[in-house]
Every structure is written in C-alpha cells, then in structure tokens.
Structure 1
Amino acid sequence: MDLNTVTEVRDARRRDTWRPGDAWLGGGTYLFSEPQPHIRRLIDLSRTGWEPLQLTAEGDLEIAATCTIAQLSRFPKPAEWAAAPLFEQCCRAFLASWKIWNMATVGGNLCNALPAGPMISLTAALDGVCRLLSRTGSVREVPVADFVIGAGRKVLHEGELLRSVTLPARALAGRTAFRQASLYGLGRSGALVIGAVDPIDGELTLTITASTVRPIQLRFALPPNAEALREAVEYAVEPGEYFDDIHGLPAWRRHMTFRFAEEIRRELTEEAGR
C-alpha cells in the first residue's frame, strides 16, 4: 500500500532528531499493509548492517531486530540446543507467504505487539531479553515477557529502538513442548502455549500467548500435578486478558489454553519420569 502521507525516508545511521510522525522501517510488512495517516517520515533500518544472528562467547544467541523470519528459520542450530525445534514451530505459526517470510523481521513482530505474534511466543518462552536504544544513545534491557504489555502495546518510549533480542544458552539447552490452535487450517493463532524445562534445575516454565493480550509466564520449581497447574493458570490470567477478535472468542481461547497447558505438563513432566 502507498503511504501517501510520508514525505521523507531517512537512513537510520544518521543521528536525526526524532519528530512527531516518525516511524522505524524494518521489513515494512505491517507498515505497508494498511493506511498509516499519522506517519510523515520513515527511518529506514535496512542499511544498518546488523548481523542477523550471532552466537556470543557464552553461547547465547543474539537476534538482530532486522533479522528476517527466513534467516531465523535457515540458521543452523547447534546440536546441543534441545530447544531447536521450537524455532521452526514458531516460524511456521506465521500466517504468511514466502514473500512475507523474506521481508518480515523478528523486531517488527515484537514491536507490533499483536497477541498472535509468534516471535513474541518464541523469544518469551526462551527467556529472551530485549536490548532497547534511545535516541540519546542510552541502553536498557527488558525481558520479552515484560516488553509486550497489551494488544498492540509495548514498553517502548517515543523514538526508542529495539536493537536485538538475546536468548540465553541455558534456555536453548532445555527441552520444550509446543501447542498451537487456530480456527482455520492456515489461520492466525488463537492460542499458543509453550513449555520449557530448565536443563539444570528442572524448573518448568509455561508461556501463554495468542489467547491472551500479553505474554503470561508461570514457573514451577517442582513438577505440578493437574490440579496445581489449572489453579496456577486460573490465577495468572485475568478474565479480561483473554483476547477477543474474529480469530476466536475469549471462552474458546481460555478452553484451549487450559487444554494445551495440561498436555504440555504431561509431555514434559509425567513422560520424562517414566
């Protein structure tokens, strides 16, 4: 779609003063999908030269905000990453064509803050941490689970930029379980729940997304039984936090959340103990 209110496109490498009507341009798959009458200037990130994916000396994975879904999917995952299957599962949870895969970015998916954003699901479940840059050069770090605070709402300040998301080696080494549901075969996720087991202390983490307006995480130091899990989910998710749109009613999303949570509990705790 043509953005007929845009009067200028600027290179993000230039230190310009942030102005009302400015917007960061990554892959542009959302920006150009519908009218954006409030935007006057685009700050283009395509020439920043950020490495899409790189491993740190500690074994953490740093994902640049400009990394595309296709690059994330193709990245060779080390054999020691027990969580490796989760990357492709979340990439495939996109309601997107191959053209979108090659343009849409991880950072854009997070910053759109849509409940069904699968990159939010992936990075939150693996204890990802967002690195945020202000226009003055200051840096702050926010866990992905706290970055999105509602449907379309995030903690970014005016002009602040999501630079990257770092996934810790410890989370990458843990076993995971994935469940996703949609009203249609190729539809947007109505519920997406991920379980992860810490490889050191065995803590179980359950990350609820898509069915709720924000990521919700529950942590269990000891394997919970079915009743304890159900009570924890009931307490963690407020009734008004189940999302309501054409892709699923709150009651259905709630039902699928409880169902998936129990399936994941059995997969990661009961079966592991056999």
Structure 2
Amino acid sequence: MDLNTVVEIRDARDPAPWRPGDAWLGGGTYLFSEPQPRLRRLVDLSRTGWPPVELHTDGSLEIAATCTIAQLSRFARTLDAEAAPLFEQCCRAFLASFKIWNMATVGGNLCNALPAGPMISLTSALDGECLLLAQDGVRRRVRVADFVTGAGRKDLAEGELLRSITLPARSLACRTAFRQASLYGLGRSGVLVIGTLDPVDGSLAITVTASTVRPVRLWFPLPPSATALRAAIGAAVGEGEWFDDIHGLPEWRCHMTYHCAAQILRELTEVKR
C-alpha cells in the first residue's frame, strides 16, 4: 500500500532529531499493509549493516532487530544447540509466503506486539532480553516477556529503538516442546505454547502466547503436576487477558492452552529412551 502521507525517507545511519510523525522502517511488511495517516517520515534501518545473528563467546545468541525470518531460519539450521529445532517451528508458525519471510524482521514482529507473533513466542520462551536505544543514547534492557505488555502494546518510548534480542546460552541448551493450535488448517495461531526443560537443574518453563494478550512465562524449579500447572496458568492469566478476536473465542483459547500445556508437560518429563 502506498503511504501517501509520508514525505521523506531518512537513512538511519545519518543522525537527525526525532520528530512527531517519524517511524522506524525495518522490513515494512506491516507498515505498508494498511494506512498510516499519522506518519510523515520513515527512518530506514535496512542499511545499518547490523549482523543478523551473532553467536557470542559466552554461548549467548544475539539477534538483530533487522534480522529477517529467512535469515533466522537459515542460521538455525546450522546452530548446534538442543533448542535449535524451536527456531524453525516458530518461523513456520508465520504460515507466510517466501516474500514475507525475506522482508519481515524479528524486531518488527516484536514491536507490532500482536498476540500471534511467533518471534515473541520464540524469544520469550528462551528468556530473551531486548536491547533498547533511546534518542539521547541511553540504553536499557527489558525481558521479552515484559516488553510486550498487551495486544499491540509494548514497553517502547517515543523514538526508542529495539536494537537486538539476546538469548542466553543456558536457554539454548534446554530441551524444548512446541504446540500450536488454529481454528483452521492454515490459520493464524490461536494458541501457541512452548516448554523448555533446563538440563542443569531440571527446572521447567512454560510460555503461553497467541491465546493471551501478552506472553505469559511460568517457571517451576521442578516440573509440577498437571493439576498444579493448570492452576498456575489460571492464576497467571488475568481477567480479560485471554485474547478475543475472529481467530478464536477466549473460552476456546483457554481450553486449548490447558490442553497443549499438559501435552508439553508429559513430553518433557517422560524418560527419553
């Protein structure tokens, strides 16, 4: 879609004061999908030259906000980590064309803060941390699970930039389980639940997305019983936080979340033969 209110595109490498009507431009797959009448200038991040994915010496993984889904998928195929399959599972949860895969960015998916955003699912499940850059140069770090605060809402100030997401080495070493549910075969995720089992201390994390307006990450020092897990999810998801739209009623999303979480608990706690 043409954005006929935009009068200027600025290269993000050339600093300039932020002003009302500015917006960061990454892949643009959402930005150009519908009218944006408030926008006057786009600040283009495509030529920043940030490495899409970096594996640090401490074993942590840093994903640039400008990393595309296609780049992340290709990298994950070479990643020697127990959690590597989860990357492709979440990339495939887009159910998008190759054109979207090659343009849509990880940062854009987080900043849109849509409940069904699978990069939110991936990075919150692996206990990711966002690096945010303010216009005055101040940096701050926020856990992905806290960065997305509601449907379309995030902890991002005016002019602030999501630079990257870092996944700790310990999370990458976890055994993972993935469940996704949609109302129809190629539909948007109505429920997406991910479990991670820490090989060091046996702790379990269950992350609920798509069915809730924000990511809900529950950590247990030891795997709970099915009854305790169900109670923990019910207590963590507040009144009105089960998402309600054309892709699923809250009651269905709640039921399927409990069902998927129970399956994940069984999968991750059964003895591997």
TM-score where L is the length of structure 1: 0.98
Secondary structure, aligned partner of 2:196: strand
Deviation of 1:14 after TM superposition, in Å, equals: 1.4
State percent identity of aligned pairs: 74
Distance 2:244 2:90 in 1: 22
Cα offset for 1:230?
1.0
SS at match of 1:244: coil
- Tell me which amino acid in the other structure corresponds to 2:198: D
Q: Which runs of 5+ in 1 are unaligned?
A: none
Is 1:135 the counterpart of 2:132? The answer is: no
Which residue does the alignment assign to 1:272? 271
Q: Which residue of 2 aligns with 1:183?
A: 183
For residues 35-184 of structure 1, the aligned pairs below 5 Å read 35-75=35-75, 76-79=77-80, 81-184=81-184
Output the CA distance in 2 between the equivalents of 1:162 and 1:92.
23
Q: What stretches of structure 2 of length at least 5 have no aligned partner? A: none
Measured in 1, the distance between the counterparts of 2:30 and 2:42 equals 13
Matched to 1:236, the amino acid is A
After TM superposition, which residue ranges in structure 1, 4 or more long, deviate above 3 angstroms? none
Q: Which amino acid aligns with 1:34?
A: E
Distance 1:272 1:34 in 2: 49
Structure 1 residue 15, shift from structure 2 partner? 1.3
Q: How far, CA to CA, are the matches of 1:40 and 1:234 in structure 2?
A: 43
Partner of 2:229: 229
Q: Distance in 2 between matches of 1:94 and 1:196?
A: 21
TM-score of the aligned structures, taking structure 2 as reference length: 0.98
CA distance in 2, matches of 1:142, 1:223: 26
* Alpha-carbon distance in structure 2 between the residues aligned to 1:182 and 1:112: 20
| Cα distance per residue 1:53-78 (max 9 Å; x no partner) | 11111011110000000000000433
User: Any idea what SS the aligned residue of 1:254 has?
Assistant: helix
Which residue identity lines up with residue 271 of structure 2 in the other structure? Answer: A
Listed one character per residue, the Cα deviations across residues 65-120 of structure 1 (whole Å, up to 9, x for unaligned) are: 000000000004333x1111100000000031110000000000000000000000
CA distance in 2, matches of 1:273, 1:116: 31
What secondary structure, in the 3-state scheme, does the structure 2 residue paired with 1:241 have? coil
- TM-superposed CA distance for 1:273, in Å, is 7.4
d(CA) in 1 for partners of 2:262, 2:118: 21
Q: Which residue of 2 aligns with 1:31?
A: 31
- Secondary structure of residue in 2 paired with 1:127: coil
Deviations 1:8-54 (A, max 9, x none): 00000111111111000000000000000011100000110000011
Superposition CA RMSD, Å: 1.0
Matched with 2:195 is: 195
